[in-house]
Structure 1
Amino acid sequence: MRHNVYAALLLAALGFGCTKGPSASNPTVDAAKLREAAPKYGQTITAADLSKHLYIIASDEYEGRNTGEKGQKMAAEYIAREFREDGLVGPVKAGSNPFYQTFDLEKSQWGEGHMMVGSEKYLMGQDFFVLGSSSPFQTEQAANVVFAGFGIDSESYSDYANLDVKDKVVVVLAGEPKKADGNYLISGTTKASDWGNDYRQKRNAATKRGAKAVLIVTGTTASEFNSLTQRYKNFASRPSLGLKSNTSQPTAAAVFISPVAGAALLSTTTENLTGYADQVAKAGKPVAANFTAAKDVKIQASRISTPLPTENVLGFIEGSDKKDEVVVVTAHYDHVGIDESRTGDKIYNGANDDGSGTVAVIELAEAFAQAKKDGFGPRRSILFMTVTAEEKGLLGSEYYSENPIFPLANTVANVNIDMIGRMDTEHEKTNDSNYIYVIGADKLSSELHQINEEANQKHVNLKLDYRFNDENDPNRFYYRSDHYNFAKNGIPIIFYFNGVHADYHQPGDEPQKILYDAAEKVARLAFHTTWELANRDNRIVVDSNKK
Structure 2
Amino acid sequence: MRHNVYGYLLLAALGFGCTKTPSASKEPITDANKLREVSEKYAETVTAADLSKHLHILASDEYEGRNTGEKGQKMAAEYISREFREDGLTGPVKSNTTNPYYQSFDLEKSQWGSGYMTIGPEKYLMMQDFFVLGSNSPFQTEQAADIVFAGYGIDTDEYSDYTNKDVKGKVVVVLAGEPKDATGKYLISGTDKASDWGNDYRQKRNAATKQGAKAVMIVTGTSQDEFNSLTQRYKAYATRPSIGIKSSSEEPTAAPVFISPVAGAALLGTTTDKLFDYGNMVAKAGKPVPANFTVAKDVKIKTERKSEPLSTENVLGFIEGSDKKDEVVVVTAHYDHVGVDTTKQGDQIYNGANDDGSGTVAVIELAEAFAKAKKDGYGPRRSMLFMTVTGEEKGLLGSEYYSEHPVFPLENTVADVNIDMIGRMDTDHEKTNDSNYIYVIGADKLSSELHQINEEMNQKYVGLKLDYTYNDENDPNRFYYRSDHYNFAKNGIPIVFYFNGVHKDYHQPSDEVDKILFDSAEKVARLAFHVAWELANRDNRIVVDSHKK
Task: Please report the TM-score for the alignment, with normalisation by the length of structure 2.
Answer: 0.91
Are 2:134 and 2:238, in contact at CA under 8 Å, matched by a contact in 1?
Answer: no
- Does the C-alpha gap of structure 1 residues 137 and 516 become closer, same or farther in structure 2, counting only changes over 3 Å? same
Are 1:390 and 1:397, in contact at CA under 8 Å, matched by a contact in 2?
Answer: yes
Please, which of 205, 210, 216 is the counterpart of residue 208 of structure 1? 210
Q: Distance in 2 between matches of 1:278 and 1:467?
A: 42
- Does the C-alpha gap of structure 1 residues 158 and 43 become closer, same or farther in structure 2, counting only changes over 3 Å? farther
1:314 aligns with: 316
Amino acid at match of 2:505: D
Cα drift, residue 36 of structure 1: 1.9
> CA offsets, 1:229-273, max 9 Å, x none?
223444444322111111121121111111211222222222233
The yes-or-no answer on 1:141 pairing with 2:143 is yes
Segments of structure 2 that go 5 or more residues without pairing to the other structure are 1-22
1:76 aligns with: 77
- Does the C-alpha gap of structure 1 residues 271 and 471 become closer, same or farther in structure 2, counting only changes over 3 Å? farther
Amino acid at match of 2:337: H
Cα drift, residue 281 of structure 1: 3.9
2:153 aligns with: 151
Q: Distance in 2 between matches of 1:405 and 1:24?
A: 30
* Corresponding residue SS for 2:116: strand
- Does the C-alpha gap of structure 1 residues 358 and 267 become closer, same or farther in structure 2, counting only changes over 3 Å? same
Q: Distance in 2 between matches of 1:266 and 1:25?
A: 78
Amino acid at match of 2:214: K
> CA offsets, 1:57-109, max 9 Å, x none?
00111110111111111110110011011100000112210001111111111
Are 1:151 and 1:205, in contact at CA under 8 Å, matched by a contact in 2?
Answer: yes
2:172 aligns with: 170
2:488 aligns with: 486
2:198 aligns with: 196
- Does the C-alpha gap of structure 1 residues 25 and 147 become closer, same or farther in structure 2, counting only changes over 3 Å? farther
* Corresponding residue SS for 1:302: strand
- Does the C-alpha gap of structure 1 residues 378 and 160 become closer, same or farther in structure 2, counting only changes over 3 Å? farther
Q: Distance in 2 between matches of 1:202 and 1:64?
A: 37
1:62 aligns with: 63
The yes-or-no answer on 1:445 pairing with 2:431 is no
Q: After the TM superposition, which of the residue ranges 49-58 and 440-449 deviates more from structure 2?
A: 440-449
The yes-or-no answer on 1:509 pairing with 2:532 is no
1:262 aligns with: 264
1:223 aligns with: 225
Paired residues for 1:70-109 under 5 Å: 70-95=71-96, 96-109=98-111
The yes-or-no answer on 1:40 pairing with 2:41 is yes
- Does the C-alpha gap of structure 1 residues 310 and 537 become closer, same or farther in structure 2, counting only changes over 3 Å? same
Q: Distance in 2 between matches of 1:463 and 1:361?
A: 21
* Corresponding residue SS for 1:481: coil
Cα drift, residue 151 of structure 1: 2.2
- Does the C-alpha gap of structure 1 residues 52 and 154 become closer, same or farther in structure 2, counting only changes over 3 Å? farther
2:529 aligns with: 527
Are 1:129 and 1:255, in contact at CA under 8 Å, matched by a contact in 2?
Answer: yes
Q: Distance in 1 between matches of 2:430 and 2:514?
A: 16
Paired residues for 1:310-459 under 5 Å: 310-459=312-461
Are 1:24 and 1:372, in contact at CA under 8 Å, matched by a contact in 2?
Answer: no
Aligned residues: percent identity? Answer: 80
Q: After the TM superposition, which of the residue ranges 33-42 and 309-318 deviates more from structure 2?
A: 33-42
- Does the C-alpha gap of structure 1 residues 105 and 155 become closer, same or farther in structure 2, counting only changes over 3 Å? same
Task: Please report the TM-score for the alignment, with normalisation by the length of structure 1.
Answer: 0.92
> CA offsets, 1:297-347, max 9 Å, x none?
211111111111111100011111111111111111000111111111111
Q: Distance in 2 between matches of 1:180 and 1:459?
A: 61
1:6 aligns with: none
> CA offsets, 1:420-475, max 9 Å, x none?
12122122222222222222222222222222122222222222222222222222
The aligned length equals: 526
* Corresponding residue SS for 1:459: helix
Q: Distance in 2 between matches of 1:497 and 1:482?
A: 12
Amino acid at match of 1:368: F
Q: Distance in 2 between matches of 1:250 and 1:487?
A: 25
